[in-house]
A and B are shown apart, each in its own frame.
Chain A
Amino acid sequence: MQQIQLLISLSILLPFLACVSNVVLNGQKNLRDTVTFIISLITFLLVVMVCLEFNDGNIADLTLFSVMPGLDIAFKVEPLGLLFALIASGLWIVTHVYAIGYMRGNNEKHHSRFFACFSLAIGTTLGLAFSKNLFTLFIFYELLTLSTFPLVAHKGTAEALRGAKTYLAILLGTSVGFQLLAIIAVYFFAGTLDFTPQGVLRGSVSNLQAATLLALFAFGVGKAALMPFHRWLPAAMVAPTPVSALLHAVAVVKAGVFTILKVGIYIFGIDFMSVSGISDWLIWLATFSILAASIIAITKDNLKARLAYSTVSQLSYITLGVALADSLGAIAGGLHIATHAFGKITLFMCAGSIYIATHKTNISDMSGLGRKMPITFAAFCIGALSIIGLPPFAGSWSKWLLVLSAIETEYIVIVAALMISSLLNVYYLLSVVSAGFFGVTVDRENDPSQGIQEAPIFCWLPTVVTAVGCFLLFFYAGGIREFLIPITMK
């Protein structure tokens, strides 16, 4: 076994080890959380080493075993998956620190179960990122749903259970109902499920069949939260905030759009989609999803719900990038996975910090809080600006590329829609910031914000780190773009 293969298997395996260590070290909470922290550091380093090896031109291809002829459990490194793995494992470190602060500060129960499932979810995400074929990807996709279910239902209240049920029903329902059917059909038509540059379907299916398959994938990958199958994401907001931050802003939802990207680029092939026009309808649906979710976000007073709808809207940017069937659009989608991850995780962690410090969840109650918690609200502001797409923050680049791609493919209406969406973003995100800093508390006598202070350091430090990340990523986005260019080449 070559070094890089060892690195891949170790990086997937280590989070599972963290899951075990969390169960075993149930009683000693400090030791348990330190061990997980160290494991998360090592995992990240391993992924970085995979990245370095890959840049040296080592091709990593690892087949574990074959389930049926043509159905292998296999891993292979390619730029898109590597980017996703880097983000997931890197942000795991930050979120783990945050989660320690949140779970202890908030007196949540069942810490061991929580951290065990959390590590499990990261492990499956890494497996998904490195998948060589659709079959392996599907296995990890389902495992990710199952391992995050206990996290969503963590509080065990009736509300949490209801949310978790919606979560599971939609994710499992769409994946078994549509995606599995699509995968079997691809296998039937193309005879292979391997991710191949330029796709595998060209020439073996008619346009109608291809369009049907694309629809099955677009709706079957429920994690991409394309309307009308987006309900699970707001429902999952009953989970503790670290879960919403890492899993429902990064790992799970990005696993969805990552799958869409992979399917679009490596199963259908950008050229095939572009020539046959099978993805035209998806452009309009994704645009609708972008605008509708933004408008719903405005109506939400609960901060996490608003952020959830914002995520639904942002995910459709990536779906749109694929549907435009243009190499620039695909790269914009890949880049958006990275930039949105940093922006949205900052916003969620801020929402959690506010909850810990004040136990407030509604935006209307947050007037004036920014003066008490300046660090948190400053970080929120940076995250918001990045999501909106203003320089000098990371989000501006992916939006820029997406607009360019829309112009290149001559969808001027889409350009307008993207602009409108940005304006809506400004409205629903910056209104929180302005309320926080400039809002006046009505009742000065019994000022409810008295005695409120900044959240514990375990909570605000990670938010600062990711906020700085949003800023730094602005300068390195070009490098990521260069890195992603090979995915659409022949």
Chain B
Amino acid sequence: MAQFYYHFPILQVLIPFVSAPLCVVIGRSTVSWVIAFFASIASLIISVSLLSSVSDGSSISYHLGGWAPPIGIEYVVDSANALLLCLVAGVSTIALMYARDQLREEVEEKHHTLFYTCYLLCLTGLLGVLITGDIFNVFVFLEISSLSTYVLIAQGAKRDKRALKAAFNYLILGTVGATFFVIGVGYLYMATGSLNMADISLRLNNMESNRTVQVAFAFIAIGMGLKVAIFPLHAWLPNAYTFAPSVVSIFLSATATKVSIYVIIRFSFSIFGKEGDLIQDIFILLAAPLAIIAMFSMSIVAIFQKDIKRMLAYSSLAQIGYMLLGISFFSKSGLTATFVTLFNHGITKASLFMSLGAFVCVTGGSFLKDLSGIGRRMPFTAIAFIIGCLSLIGVPGTAGFISKWLLVEAALGRGLSFIAVLIILSSLLSIIYVWRVIEHLFFSESKLKFEHSKISFRIVIPLWILSLSCIYFGLDTSLVIDASETAAESLFDNSLVAE
């Protein structure tokens, strides 16, 4: 048993990875779903146990194949990535619970097994990016998740052919991003001769002015910036989220961008951390203004969207601004705020996309006019949607409130009270775009005839799990905040940046 437990870090990634081809071999939709579901649950159980064993601030190092680093590949688990492992595996499980019925509506029957295969590969990639301690390995897993994501988005073509274009667009930009990233990795290898994160971090001592290292950081930051969809590198995201099947939107919005942000944090603090000054300058002079622009411009764009799915996508872009802002404070409290936001926004946005998906099942469209008056027909779904909206705004008692609170506190902690004001102001914009929808749900007369307004409990249950967790994590915050604080602390101790 102890032996088994020891292998948890690799099993985490391996289980979904092996299950993926199994789905293809078996080739039956229901069986594939069962396989995917159980693989995802296994990952979830493992990540929760990993989180509990590193919650005291320690870290687990696992050597792949017994080869010691820096030669071999090392998997490292600390509270920073363990928290996100839980988020990714958890959202993936809940999205799969929901996928069974939803997929019948949105994806052609013959593609179901391949859908689950790609879904599992995407999960593998995301978990792998989080857990690995090897920078080339990050690239490999990133590509596994990206390639499968392109396929998943294209599956939305049954509902709307524009999904193909959105997927292609993302393919181009995603590949550019990945290429930039791998170029950066190459430069870094050139300068240090190592691919192991901890090792590179040591070797980067006294190399502040090395041009190669600086260029490496630039390439990596821009490459990941594309993946995160940092303003102005966000062009691919709205279409991808809008035209993808609901299950994919749920999964991606809650995990993919979050994982990329994690990579940025990991590189900035654990690896380039010794370069403190340079990176701090880049964040304060470049990232913080971009983050603030994103918070406002994307929220304003969201206000004018007629398609609610697209509106949620723009809202995600605004939220990415918050996360980036938290990083650019360059303080422990700022980093804590970012980690909490990563988690809380993940579940919030997943619950919103999920309830929207349930509406679309009934109405056939996600435009504002399609949703008129549907709140009275589907009260349970609509209430779940409202809870998600309240969390997005940051109403107290919901998860979103906690992240906003921490972010504002971090801003005040750095003496940046005008930024605290800006954060609050931008959340006012979210009230506007969210309330427009709620009003339509309940107070306008519906013009459509609903074919069937009953939805199955298999959609309602996962939806309510997410909605209630939006409230739960708004009230019992110790779990997320403790893990985030430990994460922020351990990332900071590795770098020279002074608090």
Interface on A for B, CB 8 Å cutoff? 65, 67-68, 73, 135, 138-139, 142-143, 146, 150, 153, 156, 161, 165, 168-169, 172-173, 176-178, 180-181, 184-185, 187-188
Q: Is the CB of B409 within 8 A of A65?
A: no
Distance in angstroms between the alpha carbons of A173 and B435 in the assembled complex: 12
Main SS class of interface, A:
helix
Name the distance in Å between B232's Cβ and chain A's nearest Cβ.
27
Question: How far does the Cβ of B322 sit from chain A's closest Cβ, in whole Å?
Answer: 15
| Residue B177 interfacial (CB < 8 Å) | no
Q: Say whether B420 contacts A181, CB under 8 Å.
A: yes
Q: Are B412 and A185 in contact (CB under 8 A)?
A: yes
Residues of B within 8 A of A73 (CB): 475
**Measured CA separation A427–B106 after assembly (Å):** 67
Q: Are B409 and A139 in contact (CB under 8 A)?
A: no
B428 close to A173 (CB less than 8 A):
yes
Residue with the highest number of chain B CB atoms closer than 10 Å, among A67, A138, A161, A188: A67
A–B Cβ pairs within 8 angstroms, 29 of them: A67-B402, A67-B474, A67-B476, A67-B477, A68-B402, A68-B477, A68-B481, A73-B475, A135-B396, A142-B395, A142-B396, A142-B397, A143-B397, A150-B442, A153-B443, A161-B439, A161-B443, A172-B393, A172-B431, A173-B428, A176-B394, A176-B424, A176-B428, A177-B424, A181-B408, A181-B424, A184-B412, A185-B412, A188-B409
Task: Provide the residues of chain A in CB contact with B417, threshold 8 Å.
Answer: 185
* Known contacts A67-B476, A176-B424, A184-B409, then 17 further A-B pairs from the complex at CB < 8 Å, ordered by chain A residue: A65-B476, A67-B474, A67-B477, A68-B477, A139-B396, A139-B397, A146-B390, A156-B443, A161-B439, A172-B393, A176-B393, A176-B427, A176-B428, A177-B428, A184-B420, A185-B412, A188-B413
Chain B residues near A (Cβ < 8 Å): 390, 393-397, 402, 405, 408-409, 412-413, 417, 420-421, 424-425, 427-428, 431-432, 435, 439, 442-443, 474-478, 481
Cα–Cα distance between A73 and B401 once the two chains are bound (Å): 14
By Cβ-Cβ distance, the 10 closest A-B pairs, closest first, are A139-B396, A188-B412, A184-B408, A181-B424, A177-B428, A68-B477, A139-B397, A142-B395, A172-B431, A161-B443
Q: Provided the pairs A176-B431, A184-B405 are in contact, do residues A165 and B477 lie with their beta carbons within 8 angstroms? A: no
CB distance from B32 to the nearest CB of A (A): 41
Task: Decide if the interface of chain B is mainly helix, strand, loop or mixed.
Answer: helix
Q: Could you say which residues of chain B place their CB within 8 Å of the CB of A139? A: 396-397
Q: How far is the CA of A185 from the CA of B424 in the complex (A)?
A: 12
**Cα separation A146 to B395 with both chains bound (whole Å):** 10
Q: Would you give the shortest CB distance from B491 to chain A, in whole angstroms?
A: 21
Pair B431/A173 contact, Cβ less than 8 Å: yes
Measured in the bound complex, the distance between the Cα atoms of B432 and A176 in whole Å is: 12
The smallest C-beta distance from B482 to any residue of chain A, in angstroms, reads: 10
Give A146 to B420 CA distance when docked, in angstroms: 25
Contact of A177 among B413, B425, B435, B442 (CB under 8 A): B425
**How far, in whole Å, are A171 and B315 apart by their CA atoms in the complex?**
22
Q: Nearest residue in A to B386 (C-beta to C-beta)?
A: A146
Cβ contact within 8 Å between A65 and B475 = yes
Which of A135, A143, A176, A178 has the most B CB atoms < 10 Å from its CB?
A: A176
